[in-house]
Structure 1
């Protein structure tokens, strides 16, 4: 097994992410796999154990909040952790599953997400979004409560994104069905530093 792939099963991969986040939240990060020697081990290739679709928000750095290092996590980020019309986010996740052999696909939202807040504001009062940002509304609104868009908006969007992945990506869905990959989701609390799980996924 590659030095950058310390886990062998989907459940162990998810447990490794959770354990790393708990270290981070407790203020006792291990900063694994960040030495010059480990960096050089990865010169010939990568074998991350997880792929995370997260938000681009500068307060939600995936590697930091999961206490991971070089080669551990394949990260896909955009505003509001949306799948995107271009297909690049989905393709990136599929690459991690099919080509890199990750064991877990994780959809990560976060507290006080500006992209989701803008979507809620648009749905409630029609507040316009400039430029191409209306795509964020289009790709998020279907996950929210139509009667009360603000209610559990981040968690609902995480759950909806997990469902979208399973519906739109045969590569991900089939890997989950085979038990090769576990798909999960959660939201990161800016106040407590913890990633709170969202019940949105199929068991491994």
Structure 2
């Protein structure tokens, strides 16, 4: 009977020992928190880029307003001319004006779409440049603070003030990335058709 108990104890040890050994190998978590929204909002390069992007957006909005006013004026003139016909077909000159208006309207839509795409591409390029620098900075700050995990402050329920390394990340980012290129992403080479 004792041999059966001994055998059962050895079997139980073998079953639980690997799990216990694995649990003992994982290091204790040493965590720091970063307010990434603040980093992206307050870094020097981020502020400069945001100001530039806002200027581009304002310019695009002004262009859209100008084009819209021009098209509305022309459309009203055409509607008046068509209404004066009282159901009759427009003559060649009016048809030409209508066709030209439709072309200007299409050109305006394409121009505004290009402006919007350009702004979105520029924003993506700014973000790409910051992201390329910030990953290594997180690692650097974690190493300096002896941490093995960094968590966004928005993903935590609560944390002690001493765990917040946002100022360290901001200082390093400002030092390593004083400015960014506020231009659209480089165009990808298009594959050649055969």
TM-score normalised by structure 1 residue count: 0.21
Please identify which structure carries the higher strand content: 1
Query: Rg: which structure is higher?
Result: 2
Please identify which structure carries the higher helix content: 2
